[in-house]
Structure 1
Amino acid sequence: MLPMSAFGQQAEPRFSNPPVLEETRPGQAPMSRLRKAQAPVTSSGRRQLDLTVKFIENGIYNPATGRVDKVNLRGYTGAGVDPKAPYVAPVIEAAPGERITVALHNELPPDDSCAGHGDMNQPHCFNGTNLHSHGLWVSPTGNSDNVLISVNPGKSFTYFYDLPDEHPAGTFWYHSHRHGSTALQVSSGMAGALIVRGDRVPTQNANGDLDALLKDADGQPMQEQLLVFQQIQYACFDADGKIKTRVVDGKVVAWICDPGDVGEIRNYDQFGPPTWGQSGRYTTINGLVQPRFSSKVGQVERWRMIHGGVRETLTVAFRPRRAGAPVYRATTAEAAADYVRQNCVGEPIPYHIAAADGLTTSTARSTLTATLQPGYRFDALVMFPAAGDYCVVNEPLPGTASVTRAAQDRQLLATVSVAAGSPVNNIDTALTDALVAAAERTMPADVKSAVIADLKDGLKLTRFVPHPDVGDDEITGTQELVFFIDLSGEVAKFEVGNKSFDPKNFDPATFKPRSYDPNYVDRALPLGGVEEWTLQSAFVGHPFHIHVNPFQIVEILDPNGVDVSAPGAVDNGGGTIDPQYPGLKGVWKDTLWVKSLISNPADFPDKLASSTYKIKIRTRYERFIGEYVLHCHILDHEDQGMMQNVCIDLPDGGGGANCARLLRPEPGQQSDATHH
């Protein structure tokens, strides 16, 4: 092992769940920490929290040099946060029906990136912030999940998140969302888990929480591992303000920090392809580089995986590690991949996806890999079949499926030390037996037989899915959305359009995507409406995210017209099925990768027909009116204009949101809208 650093980190540091943000009301006992032996969260009706944003100086381990790089980054802190592990935000825990009160205090210094700033879609105001509760079903207005405000340096603002009684339990997260500085702050580590815990058992008339099933023999939650993946892309700078780099054969192979340097995130030239690969940085898990987990053979674990980063697509697999493998050291990307090839030698073990973006799926789907794009969450049920070491590997991925647009080789994310336990011959069978036994202990008599029958029928979780399917007869309207990056001018324009295109007969006259304008609403939608959306991208892939209401995936058609979202999809047109899509048909999510095979501007529009994916989703606009946003979750794309304002109002213009008056005019039209 490498020597301990001044900051208490070393190679293969021990994994731990992030700290829980503790309540601040006088006389209140601290909240329980995320662990196996915790008591279930019980609702007191209110939970009062304080969250502070400030510059935090600490260190991040760099395997390429064997040193901890000293860094000074914007971060969240609060009661219960470990000052030795600051670069992951504390966990916020809640229960359905609660009010979460979060007082956000901005202690960042004033900055000059706002002064004289004219273009809303050029990064700016790096020390202004706000808070987004990603995936929560709460109001988007006022003091709730309102991302259209700025909490400026030296100011505070209190958020009230009123979770409905029927809010799903699940894995959500929070992060800063001030337009113009979102990517810079999230890339500093300003992202954290938001876990809604519920113990509602299924009844004859209502589905229950998955938490109620995932209990051990003592009635405690099964072992949980909570992982927040981040890409903290810090750099060290020379006297001229240029990033220090290592160059080999004229190519930048790493960003370097010399002893005494302090790593920073200063500006947006630190983002975008190909900077992530050049930087030589590593995806952190809870602020740690390549941590070491502990597990036991035959133990069912719930791995709550959150992609809280910006700059990398993750495809997670568990592979046995060679006995006696050395501690990881690699100075180049090629050496890093070579380590995995030599030491992570076994075939991947299967695991089961039980929830996507916090919402329980209809089946615990067996898989060898799960692809997480920025904003994604997957709850995986993991069981290791034999004692020994395992690698948590980021698997190879083609550039067309990745945020970086560059093909990636295998990379090591973490390791797992698995102790001896009950032998496992077949993971599917062992997991089924464990969940059936849990159902016998936990489920009410009047639904127990139905739950057990479902589990024995391919690990179905029918009685725990939080939303009913959206039927054909419910649809009241349609929406269309297109992502595009216009590279024809001196400055790239990141755009969203409201009109689909025919890839085989592209008409430039009707192709009118536009960059974000905060003064207008791009879509006025009716409360109580149920709409089917068609999503496309005309240039490179983008993760689509919409606030407030989740959506159900209907189909994902590849350029050959094959629905690649179906389980076990096969492309009879001679193409290749992207492994991130099969099994998503019918799944509820709030973020989804919209793929395009075009990455060369010269191929637009001639190759649209052979490159365009077409995705259909359905969503209900329930309960909440007001304004919120949809955007690409490559957050520097959002900061540069790949976002729209959406407004929900009562039907026929009878609501206080007044959406129609604020609608953005078509080019050449006039509007009397006054806004913000």
Structure 2
Amino acid sequence: MMRTRPRGSLSFAGALLTALTALTVLALISGCGDRSGASRPMTGPAHSSSSSSSASPAALVSPSPPLTAAQPTGALRNPPEVVSKNGFLNTRIVVERKRVELAGKKLWALTYNGQYMPPTLRIRPGDRLKLAMVNKIDQMTNLHVHGLHVSPSDHSDNIFLMIEPGETYHYSYQFPPNLAAGTYWYHPHPHTLSAPQTAGGMSGIIVVEGLKQYLPKPLRNITERVVALKDFQRVGDQIKTADLSIGAPTTRVVNGQLNPAIHIRPGETQLWRIANIGANIFYKVALPGYKLRVIARDGNPVNRIYSVDTIIIPAAARYDVLVQGGPPGTAELKTLPYNTGSAGNQFPEVTLATVVSRGEAMTPAKLPTTFAPARDLSKAKITARRTIKYTENAAGTEFYINGKQFDPNRIDFTGHLNTVQEWTVLNNSDEVHSFHVHTNDFQLMSTNGRPQTFYGYQDTVDVPPRGNIVVRTAFENYTGKTVLHCHILNHEDKGMMSVLELVDGPPAPGTGKDPAAPKVEKD
């Protein structure tokens, strides 16, 4: 019998009892002895979002060094695909712990359909998606379709429900006909378990078709590559999920491959879907000698194509870029050194892939400057302004929004359909946090008081240490409970998440304020 329950139906005491019970059976995972991240109270003592070190024999062993490859290990392969037909996609995802071939090693991982790089789901605006999720691991899980504008309630993108071990849950999504074309992804979102499950391997790509329609006709059949950035910390023959440390040495792979070769002809134009679908870490992506021409961010086509040398990509962010082949030879796609401000979170330079330009040269296509239409909220009527304050304790083990840790039974913010709100996100800490909201994307207005050029919407953006961002968001189409949070999943699992309730009807007349929202003063 199905016992899947809404997360919001659990009392804190019930959640605590569930967590303590889980801790007593950590050693029972199917034949492998590693309980990769059992549920526990949200205020646990470790700077991680997973089980205590006693839960896993692997956690007691020194981490293995990252895997590297000075030369390409093979050609980049796009993940397998499951494609909608006639407006409908019916598929199945099995969650299980399996041994996979990864970066030249056989490692125990948390997988979707037995794969570290699971199928890409390709849909079109207006499609229906039915997805059966089969939970074969010994902890609860669920599914979040990250960035997609779809209902947060019932059997759709509802992160408050939990799928218990041994159960199957049937998700059903109806996407709107104006769903933005671009790159999205899917991953687990059970509170306190999001980081260990995602870090363990549970993440994949979603593509909403239609991005190429904005390109000139000669470019609508260009080669398209998924460049999915994932990383894993390794202990022996296991991917580490317990006691995750954000700044620990980690192996970075592209589509599950270690330093693959990306082939391109001189002058050829390709579309690369670059997506950070890991749990915690940052990428500062660069391809020396090449320009990255951005055509979409976080599943939103830009209104104007712009060129950059580097892209900082926090966990969960995506960039669709055009790349034109250089002269014959090789170039390294790298992540450059990056420091989040925290002493322990300094990321070194790593080669992600090797770009090989060879073959018959092509005349480089002339790329457009304007791209897709986008509604600019800079002159929109603002019905309410909110302040969202990020803080953490001195040890970096507890994280807060407006002085509170996540409680699924508490409504922290309210948004009214067909209105626009402006949010100021303050980062009162010494490290970078990110800001992500479900259901409706936002427009970044300013960072540390500096106005930002409008290119389109985003769903994940960095908030600088001791700094702030201002965003505007329009609430459209859907009501229900959803969330906003830091998408460094260690931080989310340790409390840095709030409940946003989307409701019908206008806010209280004459005040411009929502009486249901907390009153928070700026510093």
Work out which of the residue numbers 435, 447, 461 in structure 2 matches 1:556. 447
Correspondence 1:538 to 2:428: yes
Q: CA deviation at 1:405?
A: 5.2
**Residue 379 (structure 2) aligns with:** 472
Question: Alignment partner of 1:589: what SS?
Answer: coil
User: Is 1:636 aligned with 2:474?
Assistant: no
Aligned-partner residue type, residue 394 of structure 1: T
Tell me what 2:397 maps to.
Answer: 492
Partner of 2:153, secondary structure, is coil
Choose between structure 1 and 2 for higher RCO, CA contacts under 8 A separated by at least 6 residues: 2
When residues 537 and 168 of structure 1 are mapped into structure 2, their CA distance, relative to the original with a 3 A threshold, is: same
Identity %: 27
- The residue type paired with residue 309 of structure 1 is G
Match in the other structure for 2:179: 167
| Residue aligning to 1:365 | 306
Q: How far is 1:273 from its partner?
A: 4.1
Once the 2 structures are TM-superposed, how far is the Cα of residue 60 of structure 1 from its aligned partner? 2.3
| Structure 1 residues 543-598: Cα deviation after superposition (integer angstroms, max 9, x where no partner) | 110000000111112xxx544x45xxxxxxxxxxxxxxxxxx453100000010xx
Over alpha carbons, which structure has the higher Rg? 1
Deviation at 1:492, TM superposition (A): 2.7
Of residues 136, 147, 152 in structure 1, which corresponds to 2:159? 147
Give distance in 1, aligned partners of 2:384 and 2:426.
Answer: 18
Question: Structure 1 473/75 Cα, relative in aligned 2: closer, same or farther at 3 Å?
Answer: closer
Partner of residue 529, structure 1 = 419
| Distance in 1 separating the partners of 2:201 and 2:418 | 37
Q: Report the secondary structure of 2:331's partner residue.
A: strand
In structure 2, give the amino acid aligned to 1:51: I
Compared with structure 1, are the counterparts of its residues 473 and 376 closer, same or farther at alpha carbon in structure 2 (3 Å cutoff)? closer
CA 216–13 in structure 1, closer or farther in 2 if over 3 Å, else same: farther
C-alpha distance in 2 between matches for 1:138 and 1:349: 36
In 2: Cα distance, 1:407 partner to 1:213 partner: 38
Q: 1:627 pairs with 473, 481, 487, which one?
A: 481
Structure 1 residue 472, shift from structure 2 partner? 2.6
Report the alpha carbon displacement of residue 192 of structure 1 after superposing the two structures with TM.
0.8
1:283 pairs with one of 252, 266, 277: 252
Give SS of 2:81's match: coil
Q: 1:421, 1:637 → 2: CA distance?
A: 49
Deviations 1:29-80 (A, max 9, x none): xx4xxxxxxxxx7x5232111111001112322xxxxxx3321111101xxx
| Cα deviations by residue, 1:359-397 (Å, 9 ceiling, x for unpaired) | 111211111111111010000100022111111111222
Alpha-carbon distance between aligned partners in 1 of 2:262 and 2:506, rounded to the nearest angstrom: 55
Give distance in 1, aligned partners of 2:446 and 2:517.
Answer: 30
1:265 aligns with 2:240: yes
Aligned residues: 444
Task: Give the one of 81, 98, 105 matched to 1:20.
Answer: 81
Structure 2 distance, partners of 1:55, 1:408, is 28
Distance 1:309 1:91 in 2: 15
How far, CA to CA, are the matches of 1:299 and 1:272 in structure 2?
40
The Cα of 1:650 is off from its aligned counterpart by 1.5
* 8 A Cα contact 2:332 2:353, kept in partner: yes
Distance 1:147 1:661, change over 3 A: farther
Any unmatched runs of 5+ in structure 1? 1-9, 22-30, 32-40, 62-67, 78-82, 111-126, 199-209, 237-261, 320-347, 425-429, 436-454, 498-512, 567-584, 597-611, 655-659, 667-676
* Cα contact 1:494–1:637 (8 A) shared by 2: yes
Quote the residue 2:472 is aligned against. Answer: 618
Task: Rate the CA distance shift 1:473–1:186 in 2: closer, same or farther, 3 A.
Answer: closer
Question: How big is the shift at 1:235?
Answer: 1.5
Aligned partners of 2:135 and 2:164 also within 8 Å: yes
Whether 1:87 and 2:116 are equivalent positions in the alignment is: yes
Map Cα deviations across residues 259-284 of structure 1 (whole Å, 9 max, x no partner).
Answer: xxx214342x1x1244x23xxx3211
> For the Cα contact (< 8 Å) 2:280–2:487, is it kept in 1?
no
Cα offset, 1:226, TM superposition:
0.5
Q: Distance in 2 between matches of 1:350 and 1:264?
A: 34
Q: Distance in 2 between matches of 1:372 and 1:272?
A: 19
Whichever residue aligns with residue 480 of structure 1, its letter is T
CA distance in 1, matches of 2:381, 2:455: 16
- Provide structure 2 residue ranges, at least 5 long, that are not aligned to the other structure: 1-70, 509-513
Report the alpha carbon displacement of residue 625 of structure 1 after superposing the two structures with TM. 0.4
Indicate conservation of the 8 Å contact 2:72/2:354, yes or no: no
Is 1:595 the counterpart of 2:455 in the alignment?
A: no
Determine the structure 2 residue equivalent to 1:193.
205
TM superposition shift of 1:663: 7.2
Counterparts of 2:519 and 2:220, CA distance in 1:
56
- Write the distance in 1 (CA, Å) between the matches of 2:417 and 2:186: 25
Q: Which amino acid aligns with 2:231?
A: Q
Query: For residues 653 and 533 of structure 1, what CA distance do their matches in structure 2 show?
Result: 16
CA distance in 2, matches of 1:537, 1:307: 22
Corresponding position of 2:36: none
| 1:547 and 2:416 matched | no
Distance 1:101 1:273, change over 3 A: closer
Q: CA contact under 8 A between 1:520 and 1:664: conserved in structure 2?
A: no
Match for residue 412 of structure 1 among 351, 376, 382: 351
Contact 2:268 2:362 in 1 (8 A): no
**442, 452, 460: which is aligned to 2:370?**
460
Distance 1:291 1:537 in 2: 37
Give the distance between the partners of 2:117 and 2:233, measured in 1 at CA. 14
In terms of fraction of residues, the more strand-rich structure is: 2
Instruction: Measure, in 1, the Cα distance between the counterparts of 2:356 and 2:519.
Output: 59
Normalising by structure 1, what TM-score? Answer: 0.62
Query: Hey, what's the Cα distance between the residues in 1 that align with 2:383 and 2:241?
Result: 47
For the aligned residues, what is the CA RMSD? 2.4
> C-alpha distance in 2, partners of 1:215/1:178?
42
Q: Is the 8 A contact 1:214 1:221 kept in 2?
A: no
92 and 396 in structure 1: CA distance in 2 versus 1, 3 angstrom threshold: same
Alignment partner, residue 224 of structure 2: 224
Report the residue type matching 1:523 in the other structure: F
Partner SS, residue 180 of structure 2: coil
Question: How far off its partner does 1:661 sit?
Answer: 11
Write out aligned runs for 1:31-430 (5 A): 31=83, 44-61=86-103, 68-77=104-113, 86-108=115-137, 110=138, 127-198=139-210, 210-214=211-215, 217=218, 221-236=221-236, 262-267=237-242, 269=243, 271-274=244-247, 276-277=248-249, 281-319=250-288, 348-400=289-341, 406-422=345-361, 430=364
SS in 2 for 1:378: strand
After TM superposition, the score normalised by the length of structure 2 is 0.80
